[in-house]
Amino acid sequence: MPPPIASSPFPAVQVRPNPSKGRSLHATTSFPPGAVILAAQPLACLPTLSHLASRCSHCFELGTPRACTRCRSAYYCDAACQRAAWQSVHKLECKALQRVPAERRGQLPTPVRLLLQVLLVEGIRDGVESLEGHVAARRARPGWRDVELMAMAACSYAGKGVDEATVRKAAEQLCKIQTNAFNWTDEDFTEACVFIQPTLAMMNHSCLPNAMIQFIDGKIVLRAETKLEAGDEIEISYTDVTMPLPKRRQAIDSYMFSCQCLRCRDNLNIYQACSASSNLDLNGLSLSPEVSKVSQLPIITNSAISKRVTTAVDELSGIIRTDEFNDGDIKLLTLRERFQACRELVAVGAWAAPPVPQLLTAISNYFVNKEDYTSALAIQSLVAIECTPYRYPAPFHPVRIKELVHLASLLSNTAPHTAEQMAQSSPSQLTGGGTSSKIQAALREIDQVSTYQMLLLLAKRLAPAGFSDKFKLSLLASERLDELKQLPGREKELSFIERWNTEPQSEWSKDFFQYAVIDPIHRLASLGEELVKQEFGR
């Protein structure tokens, strides 16, 4: 075992030399999947430009913060956050930001803002000094002049002078920021903050990661994604691992290395990567226990189909514009065109292959915008069963937890709509041949309140240990569960749900979960598949 090259402030991890990667972070003890390895305060953290005016620059909570009256470049949710930030960093940063021309203050790139803090705050500067910046390699690449210009601007605003030596040193520090900063995404999985934490910066990348980072209550929470043994190297993904290989390579290019993990070397498609996961058996208590049998799917067993899927995904990465999917006013014709582009993937049942999941989510949102919540629920159930578990095999992944809460939200919106439809329709209409009628009939057979309650309880159970009272999705689930306490006449249902929640691994609980949650969601998913092919496949 090689000796560590640096002591770590966190007993659970250790920095060690790595013959091919320079340095790496290793576990000092074993961790089961989902366990919190450590929680750390960031050395420096800033909201991204698009979130600058909507997130507090101290606690990073989303809201309507007010700008600092001096620099108009930092925003705080209340006086307490502003005072805390002033003591830690902003009293040094504020004067420098006032030197930025007023019309450019809100457009100063986040790396330049971080470089300002490095130049002005000794503690931040000392932490960044220990990091690698791959300066020589970056200097040889196109765009180095931009690095120098950003460094020069930061030096000028910081009042450090713009002589050659000072700017050169600042450019090196900027390279270290660009190499080691983490991008944190919010609950909607859009980039919200950029932060630096020197110990965690020692983690290397893999497209088959064994750990993940979550940002909770201003802390960086490192969580085991698979089982870790003492001595194992801890690897996270620097980018969205569900993207096709060309997109992943493009995303990590700025980190100055080429990923050599199994997923990249063999260009594994999303199903092949899923089959390599050690988390499949954890899905027993999830919406998709069948994901453990992924290796038996034709997409894996049939090499011709597997190759077709990989090829189609690579081709579609340049055809499908995912930014269109974020448009709430996306038109039906556009969705149909995009679905037609994915017809080869749909034909072989490759629902999890990108960009099909993004497209299905856009279709679900399209129905939400039309206030057709029953159709939206059916489509989102299809995503929950056929897409997300294969993309993120760990049921405690935040994407999976968010999906549980989202399904519950859609289910709550369908309940009054289902009752209204039942009141207005004859029995023959409710059991008619249309897919919408079938969805209504399926919802009529569900105890929607109980399914809703159990989805939220499952979301709470999967939250990081020790952070359930801070994890936003868990808090949201708790708030909605509290609202259910006011509903009368549910004593029998509550007793069943309490028994399931207390003893989830018992055979009775598994059968009850199958009946109350898995079977209804799978039925809706089947109808969602029928609906999407009917409405968008023509």
Q: What is the mean pLDDT of residues 450-465?
A: 96
85's CB contacts (< 8 A; 6+ apart) are: 57, 58, 74, 76
Q: Which domains does the chain have, with CATH numbers?
A: 13-41+197-239 (2.170.270.10), 44-183 (no CATH), 270-536 (no CATH)
Asked whether residue 237 carries a pLDDT value surpassing 70, the answer given is yes
How many Å apart are CA 125 and CA 315, to the nearest integer? 44
One-letter amino acid for residue 207 of the chain: C
Please report the DSSP string for 232-253 in residue order. PBPEE-SS-TTS-HHHHHHHHG
**Residue 115 one-letter amino acid:** L
**Tokens of residue 54, six digits:** 């909507």
Query: pLDDT band at 422, cuts 50/70/90?
Result: very low
| pTM higher than the cut 0.95 | no
Which pLDDT belongs to residue 187? Answer: 54
Q: Residue 6: pLDDT above 60?
A: no
Bridge partners, 15 (sequence order): 6, 25
- pLDDT tens sequence across 90-122: 999 999 999 999 888 888 999 999 999 999 999
pLDDT tens by residue, 373-417: 999 999 999 999 999 999 999 999 999 999 999 999 999 998 755
**So what's the pLDDT on residue 426?**
44
Q: In which band, very low, low, confident or very high, does the pLDDT at 33 lie, cut at 50, 70 and 90?
A: very high
Residue 133, token pair as written in the block: 């910046």
pLDDT tens digit sequence for 224-233: 999 999 999 9
**pLDDT band at residue 423 using 50, 70 and 90 as cut-offs:** very low
Task: Give 485 or 526, the one with higher predicted confidence.
Answer: 526
- CA dist list (Å): 167 to 190, 432, 433: 32, 73, 72
Looking at every residue in the chain, the average pLDDT score rounds to 90
Q: What does the pLDDT look like over 70-80, one tens digit per residue?
A: 999 999 999 99
pLDDT of residue 427: 44
Side-chain-side CA neighbours of 35 within 13 Å: the count stands at 12
Question: Above pLDDT 90, what percent of the chain?
Answer: 76
Mean of the pLDDT values across residues 225-254?
93
- Tens of pLDDT, residue by residue over 169-205, are 999 999 999 999 988 776 555 568 899 999 999 999 9
> Could you tell me if 217 and 226 are in contact, meaning their C-beta atoms sit under 8 angstroms apart?
no
Exposure string for 99-137, b = 16+ CB within 10 A, e = fewer: ebeeeebeebebbbbbbbbbbbbeebeebbeebebbbee
